């Protein structure tokens, strides 16, 4: 299986994602440049975290018009696996591949810390290696992670089981106190209706080896590999 990690101007988690896939998950991986005209036959495309275009205008608003994003949108429409992490999630929402938008954290602070998230839907290409209700310890690092969607959209997310991760406490209780940024319904990650596009604010690539404080991020990458191998 081959992964591609897109580098936008201002991406800064590109190498973390690359290394997690190459050395921990041990899969083929290559960088894709935001001006590339193709996805180099990658089976899964990762939009990494960072501050593409300095977060100017709105997070992800300018990166969304990169030439590679045309290919990403076609790829996603054809069922290709796409993962947006943090700024990557914001780009996917701006591109219309995922519903909703991010507001500033209610604290107005940049929050960088380990949080716990609960797997709400294990029937996705990104979570099949974990169990429903499993609690993962993965860090967040963002200013704009306060997920918002109008009520009708929220209802659709619930009805279609598109809420993949929710912020929770250590034992899996989804509480107000465990919500770091004000996200609607503690939402930390969602997928599209066809389940091939994932967006999540926490950084699994920063939690893929025990020496980093947690290796729970592996569940996400390993799920993708398992899903891909099963389909072959």
Interface of this chain with other proteins, residues 39 to 58, rule: CB under 8 A = 57-58
Interface of this chain with other proteins, residues 66 to 85, rule: CB under 8 A = none
19 binds other proteins (CB under 8 A): no
Residue 12 CB neighbour total at 10 angstroms: 16
38 binds other proteins (CB under 8 A): no
Is the Cβ of residue 64 or residue 118 nearer to other proteins in the bound state? Answer: 64
Q: How far is the CB of 150 from other proteins (least distance, A)?
A: 7
190 binds other proteins (CB under 8 A): no
201 binds other proteins (CB under 8 A): no
> Which tokens hold the place of 103?
């507001």
Residue 38 CB neighbour total at 10 angstroms: 11
With contacts defined by CB under 8 A, how many residues of the chain interact with other proteins? Answer: 21
Q: Are strands 101-103 and 44-47 parallel, antiparallel or unpaired?
A: unpaired
Is the Cβ of residue 27 or residue 181 nearer to other proteins in the bound state? Answer: 181
Among 182, 185, 215, 226, binds other proteins (CB under 8 A): 182
65 binds other proteins (CB under 8 A): yes
179 binds other proteins (CB under 8 A): no
Q: How far is the CB of 117 from other proteins (least distance, A)?
A: 22
Residue 206 half-sphere exposure toward CB, CA atoms < 13 A: 20
Q: How far is the CB of 147 from other proteins (least distance, A)?
A: 11
**Active site residue ranges:** 86, 203, 205
Q: How far is the CB of 188 from other proteins (least distance, A)?
A: 18
Interface of this chain with other proteins, residues 138 to 167, rule: CB under 8 A = 146, 148-150, 153
Among 23, 38, 67, 106, binds other proteins (CB under 8 A): 106
Q: Could you please report the per-residue DSSP string of the chain? A: -EEEEEE-TTB-SHHHHHHIIIIIS--EEEEEETT-SS-TT-SEEEE--B-GGGG-SSTTTTGGGSHHHHHHHHHHHTT-EEEEETHHHHHHHHTTSS--EEEPPTT-S-EEEEEEEEES---STTTTTS-TT-EEEEEEEES--EEE--HHHHHHHHHTT-EEEEEE-TTS---STT-SS--GGGEEEEE-TTS-EEEESS-GGGSSBGGGTB-TTHHHHHHHHHHHHHH-
Q: How far is the CB of 103 from other proteins (least distance, A)?
A: 6
Binding site for other proteins (CB under 8 A): 57-58, 61, 65, 93-94, 99-101, 103-108, 146, 148-150, 153, 182
């Amino acid at each position: 299986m081959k992964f591609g990690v897109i580098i936008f101007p201002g991406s800064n988690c590109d190498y973390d994602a690359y290394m997690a896939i190459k050395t921990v998950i041990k899969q083929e991986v290559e960088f894709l440049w935001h001006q590339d005209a193709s996805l180099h036959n990658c089976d899964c495309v990762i939009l990494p975290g960072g501050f593409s275009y300095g977060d100017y205008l709105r997070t992800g608003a300018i990166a969304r018009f990169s030439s590679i994003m045309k290919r990403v949108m076609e790829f996603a429409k054809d069922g290709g696996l796409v993962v947006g992490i943090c700024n990557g999630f914001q780009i996917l929402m701006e591109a219309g591949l995922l519903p909703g938008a991010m507001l500033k954290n209610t604290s107005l602070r940049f929050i960088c810390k380990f949080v716990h998230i609960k797997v709400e839907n294990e029937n996705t290409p990104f979570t099949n290696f974990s169990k429903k209700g499993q609690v993962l310890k993965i860090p967040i690092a963002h200013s704009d992670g306060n997920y918002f969607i109008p009520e009708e959209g929220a209802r659709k997310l619930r009805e279609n089981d598109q809420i993949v991760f929710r912020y929770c406490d250590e034992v899996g209780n989804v509480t107000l106190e465990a919500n770091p940024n004000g996200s609607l319904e503690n939402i930390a990650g969602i997928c599209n209706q066809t389940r091939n596009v994932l967006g999540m604010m926490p950084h699994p690539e920063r939690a893929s080896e025990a020496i980093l404080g947690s290796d729970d991020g592996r569940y996400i990458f390993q799920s993708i590999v398992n899903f891909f191998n099963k389909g072959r």
